[in-house]
Amino acid sequence: MSSQKYAITPYSIETLLNWVQAGEIAIPEIQRPFVWDTSKVRDLLDSLLKGYPVGYLITWQNPSVRLRDGTSAAGKRILIDGQQRMTALTAAVLGHEIVTKDYQRARIRIAYHPLEARFEVLNSILAKNAAWFPDIADLFDQKTSRYETVNKYCANNPEATPDEVHRSLERLFMIKSNQIGVIGLDSSLDIATVTEIFIRVNSMGVELNEADFAMSRIAVNMRYGGHKLRKAIDYFDHLSRKPEAFGAIQRNDTEFAATDYFSALAWLKDENDDLYDPTFVDILRVAFTSQFKRGRLADLVALLSGRNFDTRQHEEDIVEDTFTRLSAGVLRFMNETNFKRLIMIIKSAGFVSPSMITSKNALNFAYILLLHLRDERAPYDVVDRCVRRWFVMSILTERYSGSPESTFSQDIEQIKRHGVEPYLNSLTDGLLSESFWGVTLPQRLETTAINSPFFQVYKAAQIKTNDRGFLSRDISIRELIENRSDVHHVFPKDYLKKHGRSKTEYNQIANYVIAESPINIQIGNREPAIYFGQLREQVSGGSRHYGNITSPDELDANLEMNCIPEGIETMTEADYPRFLALRRRLMAAKIKRFFELL
């Protein structure tokens, strides 16, 4: 018995286009921005005209589902590879509009020169040139009279003969008879296998993931409004980064503008905070995990197909229930109150800039936690405290950096079983032990990565306690970070380089402080013993060299809040390794106090 889980069948382009029009084959990307350059559409048509192969399409059969009356309904084909090619053909040949990257609806018009058998993207010059048919979609339109078309062309181009033009148009129309091989993947194949097949067949090696398949499953189900749900997810993704596109969506998609989804995301048109700009993957992950208490998007794909995990059959009731619950989860994600509350909580923990967010999945699970606690009607102070602590704990432990779906599944299951606060307390007791604060964290601070999550938590700790910038009297760390401040080397980089220190030594994050640009410039490449000596003179009534600090107490307080070790005034290059070790311990201790305040 053959183990082959696919079939390769050649189909004419006309058949494929008929399938698209009849809804028998789903092109999920038809509702998303078209990314091909128009010249690629022209080149695709040229290849077809010359009889060249244009690659395979890959479809994945939606599984048949058992209906309430006991009968079975065959699923649609989902186009897994070849979406751009099919969209290009429907746009050029059928005259369908595409959606641009800015969510404007537009036509792609391909002009045809019958005497030269050549295509070009229509432009203003070609539009005025009688030798070109300006839009091949008009030629393919069944309402167009071929006889009148040929006669009109010849009247405008006396050098052309009717037979010559007729033969050229016949050749053009034969494009629809060209065949494309369709690899039909069996519905029994799991996502991992389908992904592996896609990567092996696709020469570009583009990687698909469970979220892509989930979006495909959503888009093809018109019965339960999947096309509208898909748009809602896509539009939120886009508007969170480009709110100026709101007007274009409202004008060009009037059907969607009348939905509850559009009302739910309308607030984004005035939103410019970019701390959390979720992608469609983030939206799916939060909506699914918060509603279904599952962490693996592969499970969502199965549920959207109606899979009963107990009987291993596919049932229509499960499809309907999944769409109902997922729609509710997406609306909750998009809710302005929920979304802005998450942002407020994260900022209240000191994370005020997108540059400080080192894990999108830490934000995603923080949102899941917030929604879960709201379901439980937890008091606001409990919600805020738990979400803050969970977020910072997950950043400090890099909890979602390895296998986020497995960890999501584990965490949501334990929360269901034990409750948020008991589980959170058990995690922090185990993961953030005295050994972590005293040994592990100082070791993890031994890095040159300025984007290190541990350095970002340190900066959050400074913001939370309203620390001032290094040697600043009036400017806070928060103000400096929000205005893209300088990172200053306590032991200046040039000074260390001149003493033979390598890049991995002088760029240690324990050598970094957040400072105003003028202070950074004034210090230059002076060694600490020199510029700290000048500072001591400054606060004792001497000349002002660095910033506006004028008293010894102010200077001591500033050095303490910036975790500068005692004795810095006498340190030279030989003391640099000791300085780093001392400062790492001080930074770790500050982070610990910060976490205890959350």
The pLDDT tens digits for 180-238 are 988 888 777 776 677 666 656 654 445 557 888 788 788 878 889 998 999 999 999 99
DSSP state of 55: -
pLDDT at 195: 65
pLDDT at 73: 47
Nearest to 460 by CA among 432, 481, 486, 438: 481
Given the DSSP bridges, would you call strands 110-113 and 72-73 parallel, antiparallel or unpaired?
Answer: unpaired
Residue 484 has pLDDT above 80, yes or no: no
Residue 68 has pLDDT above 50, yes or no: no
Q: Which pLDDT band, with edges at 50, 70 and 90, does 30 fall under?
A: very low
In this predicted structure, which of 78-92, 262-276, 506-520 has the lowest mean pLDDT? Answer: 78-92
What does 136-163 look like in DSSP terms, one character per residue? HHHHH-TTS-HHHHHHHHHHH-TT--HH
Average of pLDDT values for 398-424? 94
pLDDT (tens digit per residue) in 235-264: 999 999 999 999 989 998 899 999 999 999
pLDDT (tens digit per residue) in 77-102: 777 778 888 889 999 999 998 877 77
Q: In percent, how much of the chain has pLDDT > 70?
A: 92
- Sequence ranges of the domains in the chain: 6-201, 219-420, 443-597
**Residue 484: CA atoms inside 13 Å, Cβ hemisphere, count?**
1
Average of pLDDT values for 9-25? 86
Residue 411 has pLDDT above 70, yes or no: yes
Q: For residue 115, what are its two tokens?
A: 């005497």
Please give the span between the terminal C-alpha atoms of the chain, in angstroms, as a whole number: 63
Alpha carbons 271 and 242: distance in angstroms, whole number:
9
pLDDT (tens digit per residue) in 530-565: 888 889 889 888 888 888 888 999 999 999 999 999
For the chain, the average pLDDT equals: 89
Q: Which pLDDT band, with edges at 50, 70 and 90, does 27 fall under?
A: low
Average of pLDDT values for 454-465? 97
pTM of the model: 0.82
Cα distances from 426 to residues 180, 411, 422, in angstroms, run 58, 12, 6
pLDDT at 63: 63
pLDDT (tens digit per residue) in 136-192: 999 999 899 989 999 999 999 999 999 999 999 999 999 999 999 888 887 777 766
Alpha carbons 21 and 27: distance in angstroms, whole number:
11
pLDDT at 26: 64
* Sign of the C-alpha dihedral computed for residues 528, 531, 536 and 539 taken in this order: negative
Average of pLDDT values for 351-361? 95
pLDDT at 32: 57
Residue 522 has pLDDT above 60, yes or no: yes
pLDDT at 31: 43
Of these ranges, 220-224, 452-456, 523-527, the one predicted with the greatest mean pLDDT is 452-456
Do 38 and 91 touch, CB atoms closer than 8 A? no
Alpha carbons 385 and 396: distance in angstroms, whole number:
16
Neighbour tally for 436: CB within 10 Å: 19
Place of tokens 């962490």: 295
Residue 72 has pLDDT above 60, yes or no: no
pLDDT at 587: 98
The more confidently predicted of residues 33 and 405 is 405
Do 67 and 133 touch, CB atoms closer than 8 A? no
DSSP state of 122: -
In this predicted structure, which of 12-16, 38-42, 332-336, 537-541 has the lowest mean pLDDT? Answer: 537-541
Which residues, at least 6 apart from 349, have a Cβ–Cβ distance to it below 8 Å? 388, 391, 392, 460, 464, 598
**Residue 23: CA atoms inside 13 Å, Cβ hemisphere, count?**
7
pLDDT at 67: 43
Alpha carbons 460 and 352: distance in angstroms, whole number:
8
Average of pLDDT values for 370-382? 96
pLDDT at 29: 45
The more confidently predicted of residues 373 and 521 is 373
